[in-house]
Chain A
Amino acid sequence: MPGGRWLAGPRKDEPVPRLTASRLTKSFDGATAVDAVSFSIPDGAFLALLGPSGCGKTTLLRMIAGLEVPDAGTLAFDGTIVAGPGVLLPPEARRLGMVFQSYALWPNMSVRGNIEFGLKVQKLSAEARRRRIAEVLEVVGLTGLEARRPHELSGGQRQRVALARSLAMRPGLILLDEPLANLDAHLRETMLAEFRRIHSASGATFVFVTHDQEEAMAVATHVAVMSRGRLEQVGTPEELYRRPASEMVARFIGRGRTLAVEVLASGEGRCRINLAGTVLAFEGSAPVGPGWLCLHASDLAARGEGGHLRGRVLNQIFQHGAFMTQLVPIGIDVETISLALPERVAPGALVEIALRGGWVIARDAAPSAGLAARYLHA
């Protein structure tokens, strides 16, 4: 059941969603970059568009901005269609904010000039412009740098100017395309915290493209996972982690692993499964038949004996205070699984593993094999 609660159309008693896409499609020279993507997010949400490189995140974002024309599908802001059959609102008229990956600061203008340009376009009075500029510079913490030119700023400062430029227009929707990609790890963390703060202060809806799931999970209220142009799932970070809707999501989020299982019975949110001869019960709503058991390292624990699974140690690395151990499970067809062990174990040793949790989804025969191979190393 991909989509979570926001896939469903708005009900009468709920507020109109801020942003709704339905079956948005775009191809370049015959290759489909975005394939029938539908989702909808509420006002004030912070949506992270997550997916591997080339999956169509930027294309989707540019369609929302109006910089790319969809081939099919509709897009609505607050219930008003901005792109659809016979309707196309140009970016100039969409009244949104956008922070580009390259920041796209106008090099011939100072920090003030960059922020002021859009306000002049909106015909604000000089006094109103001055107030707005002071206000947004305060928000992004750049007060005092108004007169600098973009080339006189550090990467993080440019980033903030780009954000201030968008915020000054007071848009209801701000789009950010990998805004942190050019920053070093430390600055990235600082800016993530800033984004969260600015998001709650401004009350605007943010759509944030990233291929870094840590970033997405840390900052977003909603995460949309894309793969090869398709939207795999939209949901809260916990939903994606605990209840992945597809094998791709299960493997992509939190370094998950999937084990092929046979679903024996299903009902009331639980499934009874056969895992390499052992019968177990886990949460999930897969129909009877082939299934995937989705696991994370935290669902696995080593046991002295009597585990649900046995695996041979392949290698270990010391990470976050524990030995992250890669195991080749015995009796099931999966490459490796990993779990944290408290001590070093000789390679080749057998480890008994207990499953403390998991999530069962359906397994279709053909396509998932390809997907599995592709995301093995994701």
Chain B
Amino acid sequence: MALATTGGGLGGSLGGGERVLAGLTAAYVLFTTFWPLAELFSAALAPGEDGTVLGVMRETLASRATGRALWGSLATSGLSVLISAGLGIALAFAVSLFRLRSRAILTFLILMPLIVPSQTMALAWIELFGAGSPLLAPLGLAPAAGTTNPLYSAGGIALVMGVEHMPLVFIATRAALRTLPADLIEAARILGIPPHRIGAGIILPVILPSAVAGGLLAFTAAIGNFGVPALLGIPGRVSVLTTLIYQRLNGFGPAAAGQVAVLAMLMTAIAAGALILRGLVLARLAVPLPAGRPFEPTRRAPLVETVLWLVVLAISIAPLVALVMTALLPAIGVPFGLERVSLDPFSRVLANDAVRRAFANSLFLAVGCALVSVIVAVPFAYLTRHHRTLLVRAIDVAVEAPWVVPGTVVALGMILAFLPPLPLVGISLYGTMAILMVAYLARFLPLVLRPVTAAAAAIDPALDEAGRIVGAGLLRRLGVLFLPGVLPAAVAGAILVVMTAVNELTLSALLWSSGHETIGVMVFALQYEGSSTAAAAVAVLSAAMVFAICALATLLARWLPQGMLPWRD
């Protein structure tokens, strides 16, 4: 029985081990998140060459290119939100209010644009609408050979981003519709109000705040989107903030750091504005609904079901089919025909060293990031439950930042922090796999942390106290008493990280170096060089990998916390 001594009277608190854990987590977050973002801020706020206060910021904001890119970002994102919201709300209504026989599969197909990596989806749309479209050309609907792809335009970017982010609105609206109490609708029916008036007059106002919140989320995603404007906008000469940052950094290197930091701050401000607005909408406009038996659709609607199938055919299936068909042809421009189909493009890309390395790198980064995130998230979630000090709460907020701000901003912060040699060690992380890993760790930690802290919050604190009473130390309580309670959430979060990280493009596009390519970078580079077939083959392989992970997650669904897999109703 060793006496623990607290310094200075009785003011001390329990748990030296907890304090050590909190300190370690703080150091981790300081290194992966706080430092890079702080470097970014200080670069953006630096004085100009002539020493004027905030000179860099003034210069950058005044430049024509900034104005063009800002306008491009706002216009494409604004337009894309209209598409996301219109499609998302309509699809959510159809899926929720009618009794559909194929609801599960339809829901999955509606969510597919979000599940399939951004650059893969962009590529798929390019192939669908290109002059050599394997689907449209046989119908005579493809643009004439030699003309540019109609998607290489602001409208095209908006369309593809709109479809890609539609699931965000769909998920938000559908969640609201599921909590809709049945008696609200039944009461209206008894009053004899016709169905379409019930929809417009009763249901829509109740779910509108959620739909608007989903729309603002889609807007933030569009502002931060890199894959779509990079593949469509760069050839189409449509400039947006994410691609401008990319091009400046590629063109001028670290010399452009100050300028691009200002652009990144601009993006952060827009995204933060949208998220604050979203919070306000949810807090102010959301109507508290009485708890009640949820509405169960009873009306069969074969016509609606057919229309739904046509829609998912157009937005989810057709682009992917076009992509797969492109990947099955020996070269671009060859019309599609069964006798010409070959798996050559696949064997060729798989034989390519760079491609194989990209797959290995992406898998390593994704799995490593998921594992480290779990190792960090579980003890930290313990602290948020059992040791909620000021420091712990501050960390809890800080870790969200890299997920909330656009990925380009995070990548830029990484370059600014890790391009100079690390203090003490004297080596630079830039140009190594390490900088990618640190960036991934910062960006994807919230995907694990959020479900794990949610699971931890539901745990009775007495379970841990009972462990202390029988004399179990911190590590034992963490491993034996706490971990089993949050393990399903941690696994679910890890799967989400692997799925997202394995096809990451935004961070890798700025941080990769020769020998340290990722799959996303590979697709982008191949397409950029004009090897559409190879790009399509790699994109198809990466999409297949994501579907395999989805399937694995679905198999595990029984053991995962409810509501973790959005495609499972």
Whether the pair B465, A91 counts as a contact (CB closer than 8 A) is yes
Interface 1/0 per residue, A60-99 and B, CB below 8 Å: 0000011101111000000000011111111111111110
Q: Complex formed: what's the CA distance from A96 to B466 in Å?
A: 11
State which of A69, A96, A104 has its C-beta within 8 Å of the C-beta of B463.
Answer: A104
Shortest CB–CB separation between residue A285 and chain B, in angstroms? 36
The stretch from B96-104, B123-131, B443-451, B467-475 touching chain A is B467-475
Q: How far is the CA of A189 from the CA of B473 in the complex (A)?
A: 36
Contacts of A92 in B (CB 8 A): 468-469, 471-473
| Chain A: CB-nearest residue to B481 | A106
Would A93 and B466 count as touching, CB distance under 8 A? no
| Residue numbers in A under 8 Å from B3 (CB-CB) | 87, 89
**Are the C-beta atoms of B462 and A70 separated by less than 8 Å?**
no
**A85–B4 contact, CB under 8 A?**
no
Residues 476 to 500 of chain B near chain A (Cβ within 8 Å) = 476, 480-481, 484-485
Instruction: State the CA gap A106–B463 with chains docked (Å).
Output: 6
CA distance A122 to B1 in the complex (A): 13
Question: Could you write out 21 A-B pairs with CB less than 8 Å apart?
Answer: A65-B465, A66-B468, A70-B10, A85-B9, A86-B6, A86-B7, A86-B9, A87-B5, A88-B14, A90-B468, A91-B468, A92-B471, A94-B469, A96-B469, A102-B460, A104-B466, A117-B467, A118-B470, A121-B470, A121-B471, A121-B476
**Given A86-B7, A94-B469, 12 other A-B residues pairs in contact with their CB atoms under 8 A:** A65-B469, A86-B9, A89-B3, A91-B14, A93-B1, A98-B469, A100-B466, A102-B460, A104-B463, A107-B484, A117-B470, A121-B471
Cα distance A218–B111 in the bound complex, in angstroms: 63
- Contact A69-B468, Cβ < 8 Å, known A95-B1, A102-B462, A106-B481: no
Q: Which of B5, B8, B11, B462 contacts A104 (CB 8 A)?
A: B462
Q: Which residue of B lies closest to A86 (CB)?
A: B5
Tell me whether A72 and B468 are in contact (CB under 8 A): no
Which residues on the A side are within 8 Å of B468 (C-beta)? 66-67, 90-92
**Which 5 residue pairs are nearest across A and B when measured between Cβ atoms?**
A118-B470, A104-B462, A108-B484, A104-B466, A91-B468
Chain B residues with CB under 8 A of A70: 10
B190 within 8 A of A: no
Asked if residues A88 and B466 are in contact (CB atoms below 8 Å), the reply is no
Q: A100-B465, A102-B462, A106-B481 are in contact. Are A93 and B5 (CB under 8 A)?
A: no
Closest to B461 in A: A104
Residues of chain B with a CB closer than 8 A to A65's CB = 465, 469
- Cβ–Cβ contact A98 & B466, under 8 A: yes
Q: How many Å lie between the Cα of A94 and that of B2 in the bound state?
A: 10
> Chain B 519-542, CB within 8 Å of chain A: the 1/0 string?
000000000000000000000000
Are the C-beta atoms of A88 and B470 separated by less than 8 Å? no
Distance, CA A102 to CA B464, complexed state (A): 12
Say yes or no: is A310 at the interface (Cβ < 8 Å to chain B): no
Contacts of B471 in A (CB 8 A): 92-93, 95, 118, 121-122, 169
Chain A residues in 8 Å Cβ range of B9: 85-86
Q: Give the residues in chain A near B463, CB-CB below 8 Å.
A: 104, 106-107
Smallest CB gap from A82: residue in B: B3
A363 touches B (CB below 8 Å): no
> Chain A's nearest CB lies how many Å from the CB of B464?
9
A85 touches B472 (CB 8 A): no
The answer for the CA separation of A49 and B304 in the assembled complex, in Å, is 66
Complex Cα spacing A85 to B12, Å: 10
> Of B3, B460, B469, B485, which is in contact with the most chain A CB atoms at under 10 Å from its CB?
B469
Report the Cα distance A211→B568, complex, angstroms: 47
A-contact bits for B394-428, CB 8 A (1 contact / 0 none):
00000000000000000000000000000000000
Chain B residues with CB under 8 Å of chain A are 1-15, 460, 462-463, 465-473, 476, 480-481, 484-485
Contact B472 A89 (CB under 8 A): no
| A69 vs B15: C-alpha distance when bound (angstroms) | 11
Interface residues in A322-363 by Cβ distance below 8 A to B read: none
Q: In the assembled complex, how far is the CB of residue B304 from the closest CB belonging to chain A, in whole angstroms?
A: 42
Chain B residues with Cβ below 8 Å from A98 are: 465-466, 469
Quick one: closest A residue to B463, CB to CB? Answer: A104
Q: Is A18 an interface residue (CB 8 A)?
A: no
Contact of A117 among B14, B472, B484 (CB under 8 A): B472
Beta-carbon contact of B485 and A91 below 8 Å:
no
Q: Which residues of A contact B10 (CB under 8 A)?
A: 69-72, 83-85, 88
A88/B5 in contact, CB under 8 A: yes
Counting contact residues on chain A (CB < 8 A from B), the size range is: 35 or more
A117-B480 in contact given A85-B10, A92-B472, A93-B4 (Cβ < 8 Å): yes
> Which residues in chain A, 6-37, are within 8 Å of chain B measured between CB atoms?
none
A104 vs chain B, min Cβ distance (A):
4
The answer, among A90, A106, A117, for a CB contact under 8 Å with B4, is A90
Give the chain B neighbours of A117 by CB distance below 8 A: 467, 470, 472, 480
CA distance A203 to B473 in the complex (A): 28
Do residues B465 and A104 form an inter-chain contact, with CB atoms below 8 A? yes
**Which residues of A103-121 are within 8 A (CB) of B?**
104, 106-108, 117-118, 121
A57 within 8 A of B: no
Minimum Cβ distance to chain B for residue A291 (Å): 39
Q: B15 — which chain A residues lie within 8 A by C-beta? A: 90
Contact of A118 among B5, B462, B472, B473 (CB under 8 A): B472
What residues of A have a CB within 8 angstroms of the CB of B470 in the complex? 117-118, 121, 165, 169
In the bound complex, do residue A121 and residue B462 qualify as a contact, i.e. CB atoms below 8 Å apart?
no
A90-B4, A92-B468 as given contacts; A66 in contact with B481, CB under 8 Å: no
A191 to chain B, nearest CB (A): 19
Chain B's nearest CB lies how many Å from the CB of A46? Answer: 19
A102-B466 Cα distance, complex, nearest whole Å: 11
A93 touches B2 (CB 8 A): yes
Q: Are B466 and A106 in contact (CB under 8 A)?
A: yes
Question: Which single residue of chain B is at the shortest CB-CB distance from A67?
Answer: B465
- A89 CA / B3 CA spacing, docked (Å): 6
B462 pairs with A90, CB closer than 8 A: no
Question: Considering the chains assembled together, what is the distance between the CA atoms of A89 and B4 in angstroms?
Answer: 5
- Tell me the nearest residue of chain A to B1, going by C-beta: A93
Nearest CB in chain B: distance from A82 CB, A: 8
Is B13 within 8 A of A69, CB to CB? yes
CB-defined contacts of A91 to chain B, threshold 8 Å: 14, 465, 468-469
Q: Could you say which of B469, B480, B481 contacts A97, with CB atoms under 8 Å apart?
A: B469
Q: Closest residue of chain A to B459, judged by CB? A: A107
Most central of B6, B10, B12, B460 by chain A CB within 10 Å: B10
Task: Chain A residues near B469: list those with CB within 8 A.
Answer: 65, 67, 91-92, 94, 96-98, 166
Known contacts A86-B5, A108-B485; is A121 also within 8 Å of B466 by CB? no
Residues of chain B contacted by A94 (CB below 8 angstroms): 469
Residues of A near B481 (CB, < 8 A) are: 106
Instruction: Verify A88–B460 contact, CB threshold 8 A.
Output: no
Give Cα A66 to B470, complex, Å.
Answer: 12
For B460, the closest partner residue in chain A by CB is A102
A88 to B6, CA, bound (A): 7
A106 to B482, CA, bound (A): 9
Of B7, B460, B470, which is in contact with the most chain A CB atoms at under 10 Å from its CB?
Answer: B470
Q: How far is the CB of A278 from chain B (nearest CB, A)?
A: 53
| Assembly CA distance A107 to B471 (angstroms) | 19
Q: Smallest Cβ distance from B530 to chain A, in angstroms?
A: 56
Q: How far is the CB of A110 from chain B (nearest CB, A)?
A: 13
The minimal Cβ–Cβ distance linking A133 to chain B, given in whole angstroms, is 14
Name which residue of chain A comes closest to B16, CB basis: A90
* Contact with B14, one of A72, A86, A90, A166 (Cβ below 8 angstroms): A90
CB distance from A16 to the nearest CB of B (A): 16
Q: Most chain-A Cβ atoms within 10 A of its Cβ — which of B465, B466, B471? A: B466
Which B residues are in CB contact (< 8 Å) with A118? 470-472
A101 to B476, CA, bound (A): 23
Q: Which residues of the partner chain A approach B467 to less than 8 Å between Cβ atoms?
A: 106, 117
A85 cross-chain contacts in B, Cβ below 8 A: 9-10
- With A and B bound together, what is the CA distance between A276 and B489 in angstroms? 71
